[in-house]
Amino acid sequence: MSRLMLGLILLTQLAAQHAPAAEPKPDELAWIRDHAIVLKTAKPGRGLEDLKPLKELIGDARIVALGEGTHGTREFFQMKHRLVKFLASEMGFTIFSIEASMPEAYRLNDFVLEGKGDPKELIGGMYFWTWNTQEVLDMVLWMREFNKSGKRKIEFTGFDMQTPDVAAQIVQDFVGKVDPKYAKVVAETYAAVKGTKGGRKFGVATAKFPKKAAAGKRIVYSGYIRTEQVTDGHAGLWWRVDGKSGVVGFDNMYDRGATGTADWKRYEIALDVDPEVVKINFGALLTGEGIAWFDGLQVEIGGRPYTDDTQFDLDFESGSARGFRTGGEGYDVRVVSDQAYTGSQSLRMKCLTGQDDGGVDLKKVAEMCGGVVEHLEDSRRRYRKRASKKDIEWAIQNATVVRQGLLRQTEEVSRDESMAANVSWILRQAPKDAKIVLWAHNGHVSKSNDGHGGRAMGAYLRKKYGDEMVVLGFACNTGRYTAVKRGQGLQANDLQAGEVGSAEYYFHQTGLPRFILDLRKASDKVPASAWLTRSIDFRSIGALAMEEQFSATKLSKAFDAVIYFDKTTPSVLLER
């Protein structure tokens, strides 16, 4: 082959690689329109007639997994509410399970089944701001009414395992009652868990700022911070603004706080305060290990210093943290006189766990947690004399959740694999005819092997349950979504419209405002639908706002169907 010919081939290949994406062909758009299940609305309470075709799409599946392209899209959450209602009332689904810490999510079951507890507090108790929304609350309230009707029942559960605290306490309480001789071993094991990153909380000082002084204005909140060996976290200032719809402004400096060992340095937060602000809280915090000192706090409103010192002492010279509530599990928070930037005193936060232990051996702690699981499993028969089978299995599962959190940190078992195992556990405890609805991100429910950093939860479940599971991904084209934006906190952010060649662009060009598309009908042998079987740009945003919002995805391999909205709005946050 001549050099000229080789050069022409290389140029042709490069041109193909960088050629602009082609517009969708008329037959491709026609295929979508012909196979789309058009949705009347995303809003619950508008009837279920448009969802009736889902009976054929879902068939006899006992697992329906509902994804989401962002963790903060109102229409996604509202549509999930409608789908849960349809699946429970029309198709006999009896369990709902969400991507949230397992025992904390199960507390909501007492409310939906028996009306016990405050649903807002219980939702907030699942930790994630993503679910602390009006949309989730509306669904939970509907579940309660559905269960009160007496016709059918649906339970509320969760399958995540990132926080061990409540799970560990459940195990300790159980062992204290049925196996007191083993209680010391469990207590020592879980004390070691608290010394790991997975068990860490944070030290905090919180004060309430007068909303009338800041409403509708720009604030600059600043202060000086000194640190000593701050690791696995940061020291920072924080400011939070609540409006009528929930959180409307938040920044805790998580991406630019003080770390390591450093002398006094000035830090600041700048935020615009909503004119209709309902409440403002602010303060200082320390996450992770180490010690941090705070001093010389100052608030400027509209460029002018706020000088009213009747409510709080921003220099900590009064001998106490006047005006601030202080605390944090595993942290000592107090005013001290051994360090100061201004005056003679400062506010010190000190992590009390893991300071002088020479480092935590995570694998050793994971082995200890595994020993607790094995002991409980081996003691099942003996425990039956003092506890019900249900209580025994619940204690073992919570011990498993604690262990899963450590195995995730040691990278021996992924979060997705553990979540899949927890979904299987939920089904094993339920009657054989039970059906479950899962709620998680697209990347977790995906049935392909390239989800969140590796094999997705949906892929593990597909391998185990096969066609008994149906996966519905969610997509949208334009609008806004809620997420944490670096340097600006939790807020509404803009979606990038799908560019030519992206899945969202194809869907937008159909002119349909919202629809469900059964991807199992697509085939690489049918030109009009072949693009759905190949890699194509598809949006994926988690809890953080993203500039690069799209990545290559084979839609028909990831999902059985996709639910699309042409324009969306941010989720409505509840007060936390």
Domain ranges of the chain: 35-160+435-568, 165-198+358-417, 201-351
The token pair that represents 467 in the structure block: 């066609």
Q: What's the CA gap between 302 and 573, in Å, rounded?
A: 27
Question: How do the residues of the chain divide into helix, strand and coil, expressed in percent and rounded to 5?
Answer: 35, 30, 35
pLDDT digits (tens, 9 = 90+) for 95-104: 999 999 999 9
Average pLDDT of the segment spanning 134-155:
95
Give the pLDDT confidence score for residue 359 in this predicted structure: 54
Looking at the chain, the whole-number percentage of residues with pLDDT higher than 90 is 75
Average pLDDT of the segment spanning 485-504:
90
Give the pLDDT confidence score for residue 484 in this predicted structure: 86
Give the confidence band of 128 by pLDDT, cuts at 50, 70, 90. Answer: confident
CB burial string 420-452: b at 16+ within 10 A, e below? bbbbebbbeebeeebbbbbbbbbbbbbbbebbb
Average pLDDT of the segment spanning 314-334:
88
Among 76-90, 174-188, 245-259, whose mean pLDDT is lowest?
Answer: 245-259
For the whole prediction, is pTM greater than 0.75? no
Distance of CA 308 to the CA centre of its chain: 39
Class of domain 201-351: mainly beta
- Distances in Å between the Cα of 302 and the Cα atoms of 102, 219, 253, 272, 422 are 45, 6, 21, 10, 51
**DSSP β-bridge partners for residue 538:** 551
Q: Which amino acid, 488?
A: Q
4 pLDDT exceeds 60? no
Average pLDDT of the segment spanning 219-237:
92
Q: What's the CA gap between 460 and 67, in Å, rounded?
A: 15
413 pLDDT exceeds 50? yes
Q: Which amino acid, 542?
A: G
Q: Which amino acid, 88?
A: A
The DSSP element (H or E) to which 427 belongs, if any, is: helix 415-429
**One-letter-per-residue 3-state SS of 230-250:** EEEEEEEEEEEEEECCEEEEE
Nearest Cα residue to 98 out of 60, 58, 125: 125
313 pLDDT exceeds 50? yes
What's the chain's average pLDDT? 90
Give the confidence band of 12 by pLDDT, cuts at 50, 70, 90. Answer: very low
Q: Are 41 and 51 in contact (CB under 8 A)?
A: no
Average pLDDT of the segment spanning 492-496:
95
Average pLDDT of the segment spanning 428-436:
96
- Distances in Å between the Cα of 336 and the Cα atoms of 55, 296, 350 are 66, 14, 11
For 328, what's the count of Cα atoms within 13 Å in the CB-facing half-sphere? 26
Q: What's the CA gap between 205 and 349, in Å, rounded?
A: 9
Average pLDDT of the segment spanning 64-84:
97
The token pair that represents 209 in the structure block: 């700022």
Collapse the DSSP code of 216 into the 3-class scheme (helix H, G, I; strand E, B; otherwise coil) and give the result.
coil
Quote the strand ranges of 161-245, DSSP E.
202-209, 218-243
The CATH H-level superfamily of 35-160+435-568 is: EreA-like (biosynthetic domain) (3.40.1660.10)
pLDDT digits (tens, 9 = 90+) for 507-530: 999 999 999 999 999 999 999 999
